[in-house]
Amino acid sequence: AQKITQTQPGMFVQEKEAVTLDCTYDTSDPSYGLFWYKQPSSGEMIFLIYQGSYDQQNATEGRYSLNFQKARKSANLVISASQLGDSAMYFCAMREAGGGFKTIFGAGTRLFVKA
């Protein structure tokens, strides 16, 4: 069964430093997609970055990069040069090609950026 695990309930980072948010997943489907979303206190889920299971390169989007280690089934989000506005909940999510159209989410990690 597909599953997403985020083991860090909360993380602190100093402004301008880099931070890594952990995500491990479990699936038997060889074709799947991994997503990271940011949820500020306003509630809206903001799409950050996508990684496909067959992608050879780690995905990058501006200050966000995804450290994809397929054999270890991990998809950690790296945020470089943290900003105060990065303080939010971050969710890792997955969709299996054979699982239809359902996306499953982890429990999330709350990131606090300190000035």
Partner 1 sequence: DAGVTQSPTHLIKTRGQQVTLRCSPKSGHDTVSWYQQALGQGPQFIFQYYEEEERQRGNFPDRFSGHQFPNYSSELNVNALLLGDSALYLCASSLPVRGSTDTQYFGPGTRLTVL
Of the candidate residues 25, 91, 111, 113, the single one contacting partner 1 (CB under 8 A)? 91
Nearer to partner 1, 17 or 47 (CB): 47
Considering only 23, 25, 32, 77, the residue that binds partner 1 (CB under 8 A) is 32
Let me know: does 24 contact 5? Beta carbons within 8 Å: yes
Q: Which of 95, 85, 77 shows the shortest CA–CA distance to 23? A: 77
How far from the centroid of its chain's Cα atoms is residue 58's Cα? 13
**Least spacing, CB of residue 96 vs partner 1, in Å:** 6
> Which CB sits closer to partner 1, 7 or 31?
31
Single out the residue of 11, 22, 24, 45 in contact with partner 1 (rule: CB under 8 A): 45
Q: Which range of residues in 10-18, 50-58, 62-70, 74-82 is near partner 1 by CB under 8 A?
A: 50-58
Of 11, 20, 33, 67, the one binding partner 1 by CB under 8 A: 33
CA dist., res. 92 & res. 71, Å (int): 18
